[in-house]
Structures are given as C-alpha cells and as structure tokens.
C-alpha cells in the first residue's frame, strides 16, 4: 500500500495548482499539514481563552466600581422620609 497526498488550490480566478506526493514526501506533507492545523487551532484556543478572561475581568471591574454607588443608593433609600414640604415664602405669588 502506498501513501498518497493530493492537494489542489487556486490562485486567482484562472490558475489552478495541483500537487501530488507519494511515499515519504507524502508522509512529510501530511505531518506538516497536521502540525500547521494544530498550531492554528492552538492559537485560536488561546485567543478565545484570553477573550473570555478579559471579558470576565472587565465585568468584575465594573461591578467593583459600581459597589460604592449602589451602597450609597441603598443608604439613601433607607433614610428617605418622603417629600419635604415647601416653605410658604417659596410660593409663586412673589415673583
């Protein structure tokens, strides 16, 4: 049984290139193809994980920065007693 590796690709609209390897050269071409595919897969995995980590870190930072404002709102809502009555001198008839 012979090891055979064939690939065909197109350069532009008219030029088609076909390669055919057999034996040891085919095995080298297959291993190189697998190595390049693995490298691109690992790069994609690293980029995806970095994106996930950065997104999580950004969300965590936003939540931490919002904590004092949420606490201030909670304290303000707890101390709120309703609308303050307008003083009698602040009527519109003086204007």
Question: Per residue of the chain (95 residues), what is the pLDDT tens digit?
Answer: 688 889 888 888 888 888 898 989 999 999 999 999 999 999 999 999 999 999 999 999 999 999 999 999 888 888 776 666 667 676 666 55
Mean pLDDT, all residues of the chain: 87
Please report whether residue 89 resides in a domain: no
Residue 94 has a pLDDT of 56
What residues make up the domain containing 38?
4-77
Residue 93 has a pLDDT of 63
Please report whether residue 95 resides in a domain: no
Residue 83 has a pLDDT of 67
Please report whether residue 56 resides in a domain: yes
Residue 10 has a pLDDT of 87
Please report whether residue 72 resides in a domain: yes
Q: How far apart are the first and last CA of the chain?
A: 105
Percent of the chain with pLDDT over 90: 47
4: Cβ–Cβ under 8 A, 6 or more apart, which residues? Answer: 20, 21, 22, 26
Q: What is the pLDDT of residues 24-36, one digit of tens each?
A: 999 999 999 999 9
Overall number of domains in the chain:
1
Please report whether residue 85 resides in a domain: no
Please report whether residue 87 resides in a domain: no
Query: What are the φ and ψ backbone dihedral angles of 13, each rounded to 5 degrees?
Result: -95, -25
Using an 8 Å Cβ cutoff, are 23 and 1 in contact? no
Please report whether residue 39 resides in a domain: yes
Please report whether residue 27 resides in a domain: yes
């Amino acid at each position: 049984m012979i090891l055979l590796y064939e690939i065909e690709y197109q350069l532009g609209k008219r030029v088609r290139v076909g390669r055919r390897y057999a034996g040891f050269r085919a095995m080298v071409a297959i291993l190189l193809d697998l190595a390049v595919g693995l490298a691109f897969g690992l790069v994609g995995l690293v980029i995806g994980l970095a994106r996930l980590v950065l997104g999580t870190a950004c969300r965590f930072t936003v939540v931490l920065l919002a904590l004092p404002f949420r606490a201030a709102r909670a304290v303000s809502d707890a101390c709120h007693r309703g609308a303050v009555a307008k003083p009698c001198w602040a009527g519109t008839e003086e204007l």
